[in-house]
Amino acid sequence: MSMLTVKNVKKTYKDGHPAVNNVSFELKKGECLGLVGESGCGKSTLARCILRVESIDSGAIYFKEQAIEQLNERQLRPFRKNIQIVLQNPTAALNPKLKIKDSLLDPYIQYQNELTLTHFSYSSKDAFVKQLLEAVSLPASIQSLSS
C-alpha cells in the first residue's frame, strides 16, 4: 500500500506562472523522498499542495489511498499531523534558542496521543532522543547543544 501518491499534479498561479507541472510520484511505507531544485521551481508549492494549504489545478493526491481533496476541515487536522513539511531554510525550521533535545522532543510532545512509535523502544525522553540521534548517525552528545 502506498503512503503517499501524487499523480499528474499541476498548479498555476493567478498570473499564469506554472508552479508545479505534471508531477507524479509514489511513496511506500519506510521510503523517503527529497525534492531538490533551484529556488522558485515549485518544491514548496508542491509541499503546500500535498498539505492542502493550496489547491491543485489538476491531478490527484492520495494519502493511504484517501484522496486528500475529499477531506473536510475536521479530517484535515489529523491528516496534517501525519504529513509535515521540512523547510528548505534550516534557520526557519529550527529555533536556535532551543536545545537539539527540545527541538526533537517537540513533535513527540505535541502529538504523543496520536503517535505510535513502534520502531523505537525507550524508557525515557532522554533514551528516545538518543535513539533518534543514533538512527541518523549523530552522537547523543549533541542533544544539549543549541539547534
Domain identity same for 80 and 113:
no
Please say whether the beta carbons of 45 and 54 come within 8 A: yes
Distance CA 15, CA 104 (A): 39
Chain-centroid distance, C-alpha 143: 22
Please say whether the beta carbons of 2 and 26 come within 8 A: yes
Distance CA 120, CA 132 (A): 8
Phi, psi of 81 (to 5 degrees): -75, -20
Domain identity same for 13 and 81:
yes
Domain identity same for 33 and 80:
yes
Select from 18, 56, 59 the least CA-distant residue to 40: 18
Q: Which helix (H) or strand (E) holds 103?
A: helix 100-111
Range of the domain at 108: 94-144
Q: Highest mean pLDDT range out of 40-54, 101-115, 129-143? A: 40-54
Domain identity same for 12 and 84:
yes
- pLDDT tens-digit series, residues 43-78: 989 999 999 999 999 999 999 999 999 999 899 888
Q: Which of 4-8, 85-89, 104-108, 116-120 has the lowest mean pLDDT?
A: 116-120
For cell 494549504, what's the residue? 53
pTM for the structure as a whole = 0.62
Using the predicted structure, report yes or no on whether residue 112 has a pLDDT greater than 80: no
pLDDT tier for residue 85 given thresholds of 50, 70 and 90: confident
